[in-house]
A and B are shown apart, each in its own frame.
Chain A
Amino acid sequence: MGLLTGLRNSIARMTSSLFAGGEQQRRIGIYGPPNAGKTTLANRIARDWTGDAVGPESHIPHETRRARRKEDIEIERNGKSVSIDIVDTPGVATKVDYTEFLEHDMEEDDAVRRSREATEGVAEAMHWLREDVDGVIYVLDAAEDPFTQVNTMLVGIIESQDLPVLIFANKIDLDEASVQRINNAFPQHETVPLSALEGDNMDEVYDKIAEYFG
């Protein structure tokens, strides 16, 4: 991103915050590849601070096919309160093949419908990334290779928007998990290890959310 573009975006965000009045509500997008545990994390955060869930979780790819928002999550850390809206987005991919869903005992009509909904959801999530989020939590499955083209592209896109980004290495409860592998792939960003499923290391997760997005 050029200097002028960066300055323009910074001024726009500063102006927006000045006129918002009172406590600024930050809209934080949860992005990442399919099956990284984005919805599990969104649910964990929402349940911990509001008592409600955001959406259903599943091992089938593209369970989340429409972005879901949970508003007014107040996170209290070290005597301070941070208010955020979290947006759980569909897993970003460059390809969606409905036949892959058939392997999960799904009828063809359902698989085709899931595929169509998933593509619409990803397109929407990409559009929002350029227009409608103030920060990003990028969730990766620590048991998978992070050095994929989609991850590289997405992190580059987020950086080009000058958005604050936290990389979460999820699923550290799995034996094959490697946080260091994610550190090596994206050394320019801080990586926070966690298990959204088990609730491991959530204190540090909330500390970092407050630090980056507060």
Chain B
Amino acid sequence: MSEAHDDPGTDGDGGGNDADTDVDAENDGGNTGDGSGVQIDMISGERMDGLTSMEKIRLILDGVHEGNIVILEEGLDPDEESKLIEVTMTEISPDEFTGIEIETYPGTEQQQTGGFFDRLFGRESRTKLTVIGPANRLETLHKDETLISTLVTRR
């Protein structure tokens, strides 16, 4: 099904405003736009830490627009998830981009937000993994509290 490639954030550049350039450069070299495979971008928490909310969203959506599956080691916070939906909606276009499929593991709010003291002191639990892909290529087959099963189709 796929060719996975290494985390684009391990190049030591620390993220920042050049995130778009990095992704484009990788896409130029590695994306299989001819339909022969599916590219998976696995983005580390360290890479995302150096980005603003909008830079994170741009990094995700640029990858998804290319037809890639994006996997975030540490997910997004609720405000970023809200902005991701908002920006995704503004970019939907008939016959070109129908939106995103997104799944997060673990999926329940209690697990994501941690315990009482985590919430009291504003500590965010980092233990969630998020999978985002183009709606026309990624289909969730099954999801429960311990498993996400998705089908990735070629173009």
Contacts and interface: CB of A to CB of B under 8 A. Distances in A.
Contacts of B89: 96, 119-120, 122-123, 126
29 contacts: A1-B78, A2-B122, A3-B122, A92-B85, A93-B99, A94-B100, A95-B98, A95-B99, A96-B89, A96-B99, A97-B135, A119-B89, A120-B89, A120-B90, A122-B86, A122-B89, A126-B89, A130-B79, A130-B82, A147-B144, A149-B104, A149-B140, A152-B107, A157-B78, A157-B81, A157-B82, A159-B78, A159-B109, A186-B109
Interface of A: 1-6, 92-98, 112, 115-116, 119-120, 122-123, 126-127, 129-130, 147, 149, 152-153, 155-157, 159-161, 186-188
A61 to B, nearest CB: 13
B120 interface: yes
Contact of A119 (B90, B101, B102): B90
B79 A157 contact: yes
Interface of B: 77-79, 81-83, 85-90, 92, 94, 98-104, 107-110, 112-113, 119-122, 135-136, 140, 143-144
B78 A153 contact: yes
B113 to A, nearest CB: 8
A153 B81 contact: yes
A153 B100 contact: no
Q: Name, among A112, A115, A147, A153, the residue most crowded by chain B CB atoms within 10 Å (CB to CB).
A: A153
A156 B98 contact: no
A98 B143 CA distance: 26
B137 to A, nearest CB: 11
Closest 4 CB pairs of A and B: A2-B122, A95-B99, A160-B78, A95-B135
